[in-house]
Structure 1
Amino acid sequence: MRRLAVASVLVLPLGLLVAAPTSGSSAAAPVAEHRATSAPAPEVRRAPGLDVRRVAGGLDIPWDVQPVGDGRLLVTERDRARLLLIDADGGQRAVDFPSGSVWRSDETGLMSLAVDPGFAANRRIYTCQGARRSGGRHDIRVVAWRLDADLRRAARFRTLVKGLPTRNGRHGGCRLLILRSGALVIGTGDAAVGRNPRNLRSLGGKTLRVDRTTGRAWPSNPYARSASRRKRLVLTYGHRNVQGLAQRSDGSVWSIEHGSFRDDEVNLLVKGGDYGWHPVPGYNESVPMTDQRLPGRQRGARWRSGRPTIATSGGTFVRGRAWGSLRGTLAVAALAGQRLVFLKFDRRGRFRSARAPQALRRYGRLRSVTSAPNGDLLVTTANGEGRDQVLRVSPR
């Protein structure tokens, strides 16, 4: 176990990380079911030093990490399709989980993980994973599981959503987030099929919002009364490959999205919003990530990477006074960029600044970022070949 104490924080040049003010980036109310009732405390201007500690090693593409109480963590490994329990002392063991039922190809396997807010009583978790269908076909599904009392075995509770599109596993998404309202939001990829993102009867290239017990559409979804079951699930559309979801203290919901050769995006989600990805005819990735030439209104990104992409992935909003000037920022993992970026937005959701600590630019590709109960950040690496880790990042 290694601890690194690093005080310096690098402010990134705006040529690499740029705001994206567009004609569609403001106005309509964002998705926000619970709003803060008091103003946040005045910001401390000093950026903290960071301690980075390895929690677990020897992993292979750990896609997600979530705390489950008493210092324990659950981790999903994408390609091995394993569900692991990490003890408070760093010991790890595989949970009895039906890995053989997970379809694995390219970017798809056992991916995102969410833990029920009532986990202490119901021991329920949720996964997003590739699945085999009859006739040699595949799809991506969101499945609810119940763990036994010793957290040794996972039993299927219910398949909540199925039919998320996939062909060879490219652009499989897939991020899960439970909102304070109790709704489950699902970020999906477009499966590299050009017409999926704007087709409201396809679940690809969307964010979906469902009841986490039944899998039914959330009652306030924009198309909740549609005759199409799939359309009823849609919260937003026009996305390329949603890799991250986060809810801010004001209740607003944000997505983090892979760009093509340019413009990774952070988007503030607006119910029924079109985020402008429409790579047709064929799968034409030369079009803008947010194409304002399309019919209707497209919602502009609140931040974009510019060119080239850094392959942004998971993210979470940072909380706790100890984080100083990084408090309230959106911490975003980058795969190709091999860094953790702290993006600051003002109360209206306008981008203000970006920082990338040197302490987190030495672990290779970073996949997921989760907030621990005490405000620390849990970060997974994505280097493959059994070289991956779960890191705990603490302010000091």
Structure 2
Amino acid sequence: MHLHLRTTTLSLSVCALAAGLLTAGPPSIADPGPGAPPATRAEAPALRVRTVVRGLEHPWDVQQAAGGRLVVSERDRARISVVRNGKRRTLADLSRLVWVSGETGLLSLAVDRDRRQVWACHGATTRSGPEVRVTRWRVDRRWRSLSGRRTMLSGLPATSGRHGGCRLLLERRGPGLVVGTGDAAVGSNPRDLDSFGGKVLRINRRTGTPMADNPFAGATGSRRYVWTYGHRNVQGLAERADGSLWSVEHGSFRDDEVNRLVPGGDYGWNPVPGYDESVPMTDQSLPGEQQDAVWSSGTPTIATSGAAWVRGTQWGRLEGTLAVAALKGSEVLFLRFDARGDLVSVARPPALARFGRLRSITSARDGDLLLTTDNGTGDRVLRVSPR
């Protein structure tokens, strides 16, 4: 399946208000250009941006828990925090458990509010060297401590810590836990079905076993866990309302990608021999069929990261778009796709381009978007809503 790109830029006017609160003026929808469907003249909402908590360091993920709590991971501190009413407290200091090096440390979180369970993807040390793994804990009723630690998936490759990206996503229906991984900067990993590197994996979040409907579930070895392969460094995962899974990944010097995931699909990253980053992100000269990206950055990259689908009629023309955070680009892209997965338009609100590097983006229960900055010091969690 080869999906072709149509790119449109949307303009937004912005005015800044008091510290901690920014408002974007009403953004109009630009003409999508030749070959694209005509755009309506309806306006998207102005945006309100509030700081939820400050004083963080490389926060990698934010997830909503019960009772209005937010759960936040910090990569290098290896700390999980609970934030409520603007106040942060430490839920767990995992510095003795987590291996931290370069891009690897305490990474993505997943939270089951009803069962009071937390999953984390993180670096770990073994006798044979470092790896990345997925661990699960139970949480007490007051969200003050973790217990019952269980390793759900281990053996994700790690080298120096480069390309250790690991994103988690709880599927809305059934027991699936989706795990997006980096290739650990080893060229042979992405297309090796028995390596967990450069993959999107699916496991049963209760048992840690491969999901029975995985495309290679009837095989032996690690490939039973594989949903898609041929990825470079998966940074974001999102499930659309129709149940389809989408990934966001870092490109090399070109082509950050958003991919619609096809079970068993090959996404074409094959930087061999060695680690040859001059090859295309999706190399169509490889044997078999490779899946084209539904959006790519071209050159230069903007380091796309976390992603979430925008929910709620309050978002107006932005409802149903995929919001994608960018690190190097220091912005949020709102990408609209049609039902087939073809790109229709792109909005880049200037109100969200004032906070530096943006790592993760999560849809809160009320439809607001939660973002983490990743500038290294003085980082924060932001809450974005329509005015």
Q: TM-score, normalised by structure 1?
A: 0.89
The AA in structure 2 aligned to 1:177 is L
User: Which of 356, 363, 371 is the equivalent residue of 2:355?
Assistant: 363
Matched, 1:98 2:94: yes
Q: TM-score, normalised by structure 2?
A: 0.91
Matched, 1:339 2:335: no
Partner of 1:26: none
- Distance of 2:31 and 2:61 partners within structure 1: 29
Matched, 1:189 2:182: yes
Partner of 2:8: none
Q: Do the aligned residues in 1 keep the contact of 2:28 with 2:44 (CA within 8 Å)?
A: no
Partner SS, residue 323 of structure 1:
helix
- More displaced 10-residue stretch of structure 1: 152-161 or 319-328: 152-161
The AA in structure 1 aligned to 2:59 is P
> What is the RMSD of the two structures over their aligned residues, measured on CA atoms?
1.8
Partner SS, residue 95 of structure 1:
strand
Partner of 1:391: 382
Q: Do the aligned residues in 2 keep the contact of 1:12 with 1:356 (CA within 8 Å)?
A: no
Task: Give a deviation string over 1:299-322, Cα, whole Å, max 9, x none.
Answer: 000000010000000000000001
Partner of 1:113: 109
Percent identity between the aligned chains?
57
- Distance of 2:307 and 2:240 partners within structure 1: 11
**Residue 362 (structure 1) shift:** 0.5
The AA in structure 2 aligned to 1:184 is L
Task: Give a deviation string over 1:142-186, Cα, whole Å, max 9, x none.
Answer: 011111222111124311100000101000111000112230000
Partner of 1:269: 261
Q: Which runs of 4+ in 1 moved over 2 A?
A: 8-14, 96-99
Instruction: Say if 1:179 and 1:149 are closer, same or farther in 2 by CA, change over 3 A.
Output: same
Instruction: Say if 1:109 and 1:12 are closer, same or farther in 2 by CA, change over 3 A.
Output: farther
Q: How does 1:70-89 map to 2 (within 5 A)?
A: 70-87=67-84, 89=85
Instruction: Say if 1:13 and 1:157 are closer, same or farther in 2 by CA, change over 3 A.
Output: farther
The AA in structure 2 aligned to 1:2 is G
Matched, 1:325 2:317: yes
The AA in structure 2 aligned to 1:291 is D
The AA in structure 2 aligned to 1:213 is R
Task: Give a deviation string over 1:102-152, Cα, whole Å, max 9, x none.
Answer: 000000000000012xx33x31110000001115x1100001111122211
User: Which of 187, 193, 203 is the equivalent residue of 1:200?
Assistant: 193
**Residue 100 (structure 1) shift:** 1.3
Task: Give a deviation string over 1:228-250, Cα, whole Å, max 9, x none.
Answer: 1x110000000000000001111
The AA in structure 2 aligned to 1:45 is A
Partner SS, residue 65 of structure 2:
strand
Partner SS, residue 347 of structure 2:
strand
User: Which of 132, 154, 164 is the equivalent residue of 1:162?
Assistant: 154
Partner of 1:221: 214
Task: Give a deviation string over 1:70-123, Cα, whole Å, max 9, x none.
Answer: 211000000000000001x1011011343211000000000000012xx33x31
Partner of 2:14: none
Partner SS, residue 70 of structure 1:
helix
Q: Do the aligned residues in 1 keep the contact of 2:29 with 2:41 (CA within 8 Å)?
A: no
Partner of 1:5: 23
Partner of 1:254: 246
- Distance of 2:121 and 2:309 partners within structure 1: 22
- Distance of 2:57 and 2:31 partners within structure 1: 32
Q: Do the aligned residues in 2 keep the contact of 1:189 with 1:240 (CA within 8 Å)?
A: yes
Task: Give a deviation string over 1:335-382, Cα, whole Å, max 9, x none.
Answer: 000001100101111001111101101000000000000000000000
The AA in structure 2 aligned to 1:63 is W
User: Which of 217, 228, 251 is the equivalent residue of 1:236?
Assistant: 228
Partner of 1:22: none
The AA in structure 2 aligned to 1:383 is N
User: Which of 277, 287, 290 is the equivalent residue of 1:295?
Assistant: 287
Task: Give a deviation string over 1:18-40, Cα, whole Å, max 9, x none.
Answer: x9xxxxxxxxxxxxxxxxxxxxx
Partner SS, residue 317 of structure 2:
helix
- Distance of 2:197 and 2:29 partners within structure 1: 35
User: Which of 296, 308, 312 is the equivalent residue of 1:304?
Assistant: 296
- More displaced 10-residue stretch of structure 1: 5-14 or 209-218: 5-14
